Structure 1
Amino acid sequence: MNKQHIRIRDYVEGKLSAEASREAEAHLLDCSRCRQAVEELQQRRTAGRKGGGPGRILSRFIGGLLRGELIIVDPLLERLRLVRPFGPPKAATSDEPLRVLRPIVLSGVSRLWRFIGRFGLVLSLTAGVLLLPRPEGLSAAGQRGLAAFVFTAGVLALEPVSLPIAALMVPVALVALRVADTSQAFETFSRPVVFLILASLFLAEALRKHGLTRRLALLAIVASGGGTGALLLGLMSISALFSMWVGNTATAAMLIPVALTISREVSDRDEAADLLTLLALGIAYSASLGGMVTILGAAANAVASGFLSKIMPWTFLDWLKYGLPAFVVIFPLTWLLLFKLMPVAITRLDVSPARGQVRDMGPMNRVEREILIMLVVTACLWIGGPFLEASLGLPPTLFSAALVAVMAVCYLAIREIIDWEDLKGISWGIFLIIGAGLSLGEALVRSGATDWFALLIAPLVTGSSLFISLILLVTVSALLTNLLNNTTIAAVFVPVLITLAADQPALNPLMLVLPVTLATTFGYSLPSASGRMALLAATGIVPRGTMLRCGLVITLASSLALAVLFYLLAGIGWFG
């Protein structure tokens, strides 16, 4: 507590234990930043008690959102007495990842109010879509498909229950709305791309269990020489590298505790807090950017790949062909902007503690070397598997990305490098989230809602130059991902853009689908944007105002860079 900022809301609301309160008060004597935050929160709470009308509530809600102090839904629902607030989870140590997609445990009454308030709002929004007059050109089935989209977006954004269970509600809603039967609703949960992402989480657990992520992070710290810019670049590079192969949120969860350890070496609390904010944002952003490179880097990539594989041959290497150039352009831009937006007083750190930890760890042991070799072989098979199948006369898809990932996990299990107890702790809920996103997308296509959406945005694509269309589509996708689950965005936009491109012979669907999907990476502004940002908000590492300010600037800059890149790729015939 003495080396980290206090949990402001818990302190003001009296939720801390007696011992924690004493430590917080001692911290406040030395920390002007926390004192100011406490005073501001107390003033807002006092002002909130003076005016309780609906207009005043909405005004305060919007003002807080613009200042970056609010999660999109929680405070409004709390003020309307629909749910009760709950405290942030305890941060992990340097050897333990921050866990994600875990159920939120509340007491009986709080859990009931939370469910009734949020799920009631989701049902109200869904019913509203069904009861509104049907727009011109939209069939009755399409209107039900639109209601399914609203239900899915609402239940994944509001989370009346934990996110994996919320995703499991989606196929139930699809059947109830008559846009899918039971077989259709659950068929997508068995797609190969779902198992590809799930296997990547198993690989991430092997890296964590045997200390490879921590070793490489410490080596990056030592290699930086202590310079703040080099340190940020090193941690961002490690984060991006791992997130290419084992899932971006899982990577951030493993590396943020390393940033916590680094910040604890700084004696001045304010400087330590600024450094921690910089490093944590860098890890979260780069984990998202690394996820652009491969299919298994993000759930949205998996959803988009699932739809693309239905209209063309689509492999791991095909995605890499477009994801890697995007990363090469946007990663250094993000590092530079973040370093400029978040200046820190510390220019150089003492890396001797990290050097000592590396020395204590000793040389890489046999298991660590075996894991690295296995990962290299797995990556080679992901890239060159189709060529091996053809040249050796092997069964088709034997070396598909999903099967290769599963074989890698089986190898680790056979070698007893990981076991079932290790795998119990991973975020299994991603399995349900991807399946729900694919199921929604298929339902929108069957119901005709996709065709209606395509008609709505057709003027945006056909009536403008490709450059303008890319800027608009990419920016909208990037901003929406702060409010909606990126899997939902991909499930809606990808089939719509594929349908739109089918009516334009000169337009390759990849020109639109890939930049729009990759733009869901840029959800940096709000805790609701992604698991990475939710981790930072829940642990109190990054102030909400800082998250919003830096996030918006980097989101807009990255969106413009991505649109320009894909416009240039189209100009040189990169899409074939």
Structure 2
Amino acid sequence: MPTNQRLSALAAVLCASFAAIQALGYWHTWLGLPTPAGIALSILLITAYLWISEALPLYISSLGVLAMGVLWLAPALQPGYQPESLYFAFFSDLTLLFLGGFTLSALLNKYGLAQRMASWLLARTGTAPDRVLLGLLLVSAFLSMWMSNTATAAMMFAIVTPMIAQLPQGHSFSKALAIGIPFACNIGGLGTPIGTPPNAIAMAYLAQQGWELSFAWWMAISLPVVALLLGGLWLLLLRLYPPGALQMEHQQAKQPNAPLSAKQWLIIGIFGFTVLGWLLGGQTGISTGMTGLICVLLAYGSGLLKTPDFRNMPWDILFMLGGGLCLGSCLTASGLTAEAAGLIPAESSLALIFGTILLLSAGMTTVMSNTATANLLLPVAISLPASPLLLSIAIAFMCSSSMALPVSTPPNAIAFGSGLFKVGDMAKAGLVVTLMAMVLTSLASIFYIPLFI
């Protein structure tokens, strides 16, 4: 039996075992939990196993959360409970926000605007290797704020591969270029709510608690962290892999770009309108999700994107987001998050809780999906009495800043597949960046973010 089938069979056995325990009434009695909380804990453990092991595709596991919530948990809740919130998790304002982001990404890629932007900036970096590296980091980070970081990493590697080929065989600076791109993509995702799923998940959970965070608010608190992390990454890579007396050229950047076409100008207009709508959402009364929907209507209604483009949208990411929010609704409705919060002693200091959350986020994201990590940690963090807003933001930041291994993020895997460096090279730089992110997140939570609350 293939490995995947064995893992799937094991997952099915675990699900059946937990269901049997719950049916017999032992699980919640043993832990002293109310029946709904016991069921929710079973759902959490089953889902955590499936997300961590990836025995099933993550989006299938996410749909399983909905099935277990409706068929298993809802009947155990108070009479008359209607599980609409579980269904709503799969098509909320957050879903429309990400649909808009995916649409912008498709437009920029399909019509070559992202590549033109990268070439335009790199053409202005000159031949000094430190400036070329800085330009690559800035372009990768900026594009990852608006596009999938996986797509950005793939595109940037297509641009940087000819540059690396010009370097002397085995020169260490090639590692700086190859490692810098995925790391900058990961860091850039922090900058906007659509840059990476943990950001939007955190905003959705906070919105359920009454904190309606705007697109502009998120950028205001995240961009300083992004800038400092990029600066630290640049200096770190130059120190680990010094270029020496190298001079670099980028042939693609030297090629003159043709004038922008009418379609490209139209895309720039749609991009500007959408971003402006996101930034001014709190003043116009139009939600970020509705702005994203308008972007989708403009892109597909104008014919710029067509049915094949719609089919190629990363729907699995949307279902993963929905599954995470659905899990949070299950944990909250069952009272399990309140039970978990009650286990933390009232005298526990915020510093201890904060440090524990940061370490958990960094450790889990190093070896598993950052979306899954955020979905597991945020429901508990939001229920804690000790600054849930700061804890949620810290989780979102760390879920995108832990990048020590090739499996930590898809951009890391793409870079590792180039064969230009070993796991040890990525781990050495990645651990330092993760530590920098922990320090900056802590300092921002103490001195900077409270200014915006």
Common topology (TM > 0.5):
yes
Q: CA deviation at 1:248?
A: 2.7
Aligned residue identity for 2:274: T
Q: CA deviation at 1:529?
A: 2.2
Q: Equivalents in 1 of 2:64, 2:380: separation in Å?
A: 23
Q: Does 1:196 align with 2:97?
A: yes
Match of 1:329 among 198, 216, 228: 228
**Secondary structure in structure 2 of the residue aligned to 1:226:** coil
Verify the 8 A CA contact 1:524 1:552 in the aligned structure 2: yes
Aligned residue identity for 2:371: T
- Identical positions, percent: 26
Question: Cα deviations across residues 72-98 of structure 1 (Å, max 9, x unaligned)?
Answer: xxxxxxxxxxxxxxxxxxxxxxxxxxx
Match of 1:449 among 336, 348, 365: 336
Q: CA deviation at 1:331?
A: 2.4
Partner of 1:270: 170
Label 1:233 to 1:497 Cα distance change in 2 as closer, same or farther (>3 A): same
Verify the 8 A CA contact 2:74 2:83 in the aligned structure 1: no
Question: Cα deviations across residues 241-276 of structure 1 (Å, max 9, x unaligned)?
Answer: 12222333332233232222322333x3423xx545
Q: CA deviation at 1:184?
A: 4.8
Q: Does 1:494 align with 2:378?
A: yes
| Higher relative contact order, chain-length normalized (CA < 8 Å, sep 6+) | 2
Question: Cα deviations across residues 417-452 of structure 1 (Å, max 9, x unaligned)?
Answer: 222223333322111110111111111112232123
Question: Cα deviations across residues 84-143 of structure 1 (Å, max 9, x unaligned)?
Answer: xxxxxxxxxxxxxxxxxxxxxxxxxxxx61332222343456567776966655434333
Label 1:541 to 1:435 Cα distance change in 2 as closer, same or farther (>3 A): farther
The residue correspondences of 1:355-366 to structure 2 (distance < 5 A) are 355-357=253-255, 359=256, 361-366=257-262
Q: Equivalents in 1 of 2:365, 2:345: separation in Å?
A: 21
Q: Does 1:247 align with 2:148?
A: yes
Q: Does 1:561 align with 2:434?
A: no
Q: CA deviation at 1:207?
A: 0.6
**Secondary structure in structure 2 of the residue aligned to 1:574:** helix
Verify the 8 A CA contact 2:123 2:254 in the aligned structure 1: no
Match of 1:159 among 41, 54, 58: 54
Partner of 1:113: 2
Label 1:303 to 1:210 Cα distance change in 2 as closer, same or farther (>3 A): same
Verify the 8 A CA contact 1:137 1:452 in the aligned structure 2: no
**Secondary structure in structure 2 of the residue aligned to 1:292:** helix
Q: Which runs of 5+ in 1 are unaligned?
A: 1-111, 390-398, 502-506
Label 1:452 to 1:327 Cα distance change in 2 as closer, same or farther (>3 A): same
The residue correspondences of 1:231-246 to structure 2 (distance < 5 A) are 231-246=132-147
Label 1:194 to 1:509 Cα distance change in 2 as closer, same or farther (>3 A): same
Q: CA deviation at 1:160?
A: 2.8
Question: Cα deviations across residues 300-323 of structure 1 (Å, max 9, x unaligned)?
Answer: 112111111122233222322322
Q: Equivalents in 2 of 1:188, 1:292: separation in Å?
A: 23
Q: Equivalents in 2 of 1:491, 1:539: separation in Å?
A: 31
Partner of 2:79: none
Label 1:349 to 1:489 Cα distance change in 2 as closer, same or farther (>3 A): same
Verify the 8 A CA contact 1:295 1:302 in the aligned structure 2: yes
Match of 2:300 among 413, 424, 434: 413
* TM-score, normalisation: structure 1: 0.70
The residue correspondences of 1:69-88 to structure 2 (distance < 5 A) are none
Label 1:127 to 1:575 Cα distance change in 2 as closer, same or farther (>3 A): farther
Label 1:136 to 1:196 Cα distance change in 2 as closer, same or farther (>3 A): same
Q: Which one has the largest radius of gyration?
A: 1
Partner of 2:78: none
When the two structures are aligned, how many residues end up with a matched partner? 440
Verify the 8 A CA contact 2:233 2:433 in the aligned structure 1: yes
Q: CA deviation at 1:539?
A: 5.3
Question: Cα deviations across residues 282-329 of structure 1 (Å, max 9, x unaligned)?
Answer: 222222222212211111112111111122233222322322232233
Match of 2:198 among 284, 300, 303: 300
* TM-score, normalisation: structure 2: 0.87
Partner of 2:266: 370
Question: Cα deviations across residues 552-571 of structure 1 (Å, max 9, x unaligned)?
Answer: 2211221112112211126x
Verify the 8 A CA contact 1:194 1:302 in the aligned structure 2: no
Verify the 8 A CA contact 2:103 2:299 in the aligned structure 1: no
**Secondary structure in structure 1 of the residue aligned to 2:170:** helix
Partner of 1:470: 354
Q: Which runs of 5+ in 2 are unaligned?
A: 76-81
**Secondary structure in structure 1 of the residue aligned to 2:73:** coil
Partner of 1:287: 185
Q: Does 1:521 align with 2:392?
A: no
Q: Equivalents in 2 of 1:417, 1:306: separation in Å?
A: 30
